[in-house]
Amino acid sequence: MPSEFELIRRHFTRPTPQALLGPGDDCALLIPSEGMLLAVTTDMLVEGTHFLPDTDPCALGWKTLAVSLSDLAAMGARPRWALLAGSLPADDESWIAQFAAGLFACAGRHAVDVVGGDTTRGPRNLCLTAIGELPAATALRRDRALPGDDLWLSGQTGLAALGLAHLQGRVHLGEALRDTCVHCVAAAVAARRTRHSPARPGARRDRRLGRPARRPRPYRRAVAGRRRDLARSPAAAAGGIEPLLARRCQLAGGDDYELLFTAAVDRRDQLAALAGELELPLWRCGSIVAAPVGAVRVVDEDGQDSGFCDDRGFDHFA
């Protein structure tokens, strides 16, 4: 096994044209663009919690960065820099090489410089911090939604979680749905089947679509997973599945990499046109109502209102 320094040199040191100083010193040095905000996010992926031990390391490398790029995209930021800290078992340079290949493939696709990090020994754990930039007026914030706004979703959610439940034996899916959902686990792990939709400065700054904070982010699509021409709801598509499980997967399953955003009602035509222009499936999946923060009122396919629930996302300590 090469030394820690040799491993970093071999696998994690690439040119960093966007940085004044990249890996090798105590810090990376970056020159922020004048007048832009920084958007910063950090995500930790733990073996056994966020990925299975036998996950393809190349796909995992891609996902490790894609998860954080997804956060940047959700706020309308253009990704620029990333730092990777990793705790790894000591004995598998081949795994490390494949992981790095996936990571840097994703970084190259999205013009991200990996400017620094930390490598240590321990249970496999990957922590990525991504830094992006955005014009101050265009930040897409969760606290900007207004009652009455439409809630839009690109694609659908819950398939990866259903596929994982199948792999774990918690549910038995029929063949067609199983293939779709297990495929979504793979797609979520890798987010590889995305088609590249580079940040469109024109679209990003087009204010005609509504208030800045409520415009859709075409860029998100670059990390939004593959398109799916499937029924909107896994619960609807999976007749034999226990409804509560299906709903939990859909509302709080995770690993979906889709865009959920709000827009004023008078933007519907423009959003439909935008969906066509971008070949991006967008559908109105709900609306904002006055209710306690975090509450979700679920209306079934048949129109039945099942009241409020508080599935606010996957809870690691639940």
Helix 4-11 with 93-109: angle, nearest 10 deg: 40
For a second copy, the binding residue among 32, 108, 198, 201 (CB under 8 A) is 32
The angle subtended at Cα 152 by Cα 146 and Cα 157, nearest 5°, is: 125
Coil vs helix vs strand at 134 = strand
With contact defined as beta carbons under 8 Å apart, do 253 and 161 qualify?
Answer: yes
Indicate whether 17 belongs to the interface with a second copy (CB under 8 A). Answer: no
Q: How far is the CB of 81 from a second copy (least distance, A)?
A: 7
Residue whose CB is less far from a second copy, 240 or 313: 313
For a second copy, the binding residue among 12, 51, 62, 81 (CB under 8 A) is 81
Indicate whether 7 belongs to the interface with a second copy (CB under 8 A). Answer: yes
For a second copy, the binding residue among 9, 10, 24, 243 (CB under 8 A) is 24
**Number of residues near a second copy (by CB under 8 A):** 70
Q: How far is the CB of 76 from a second copy (least distance, A)?
A: 10
Residue 154 β-bridge partners? 282
For a second copy, the binding residue among 66, 74, 182, 282 (CB under 8 A) is 74
Residue whose CB is less far from a second copy, 134 or 184: 134
Binding to a second copy by CB under 8 A, coded x per residue (else -) over 122-141, reads xx-x-x-x-xx---x--x-x
Binding to a second copy by CB under 8 A, coded x per residue (else -) over 153-192, reads ----------------------------------------
Residue whose CB is less far from a second copy, 41 or 180: 41
Phi, psi dihedral angles at 301 (to 5 degrees)? -55, -35
Helix 175-190 with 57-74: angle, nearest 10 deg: 80
Which is it for the CA torsion 49, 55, 58, 62, positive or negative? Answer: negative
CA distance 128 to 144: 27
Residue whose CB is less far from a second copy, 134 or 237: 134
Selected range binding a second copy among 33-41, 149-157, 239-247, 301-309, rule: CB under 8 A: 33-41
Indicate whether 54 belongs to the interface with a second copy (CB under 8 A). Answer: no
Total residues belonging to the chain: 318
With contact defined as beta carbons under 8 Å apart, do 33 and 133 qualify?
Answer: yes
Q: Which residues, in sequence order, are CB contacts of 253 under 8 Å at separation 6+?
A: 157, 158, 160, 161, 162, 164, 314
Residue 86 β-bridge partners? 119, 126
One-letter amino acid identity for 6? E
Q: How far is the CB of 31 from a second copy (least distance, A)?
A: 6
Phi, psi dihedral angles at 303 (to 5 degrees)? 90, 0
For a second copy, the binding residue among 18, 21, 197, 275 (CB under 8 A) is 21
Indicate whether 52 belongs to the interface with a second copy (CB under 8 A). Answer: no
CA distance 236 to 162: 13
Q: Which residues, in sequence order, are CB contacts of 195 under 8 Å at separation 6+?
A: 221, 226, 227
Selected range binding a second copy among 17-25, 163-171, 184-192, 201-209, rule: CB under 8 A: 17-25
Where on the chain is the footprint of a second copy (CB under 8 A)? 1-5, 7, 20-21, 24-32, 34, 36-44, 46-50, 70-72, 74-75, 77, 81, 83-87, 90, 115-123, 125, 127, 129, 131-132, 136, 139, 141-143, 312-313, 315-318
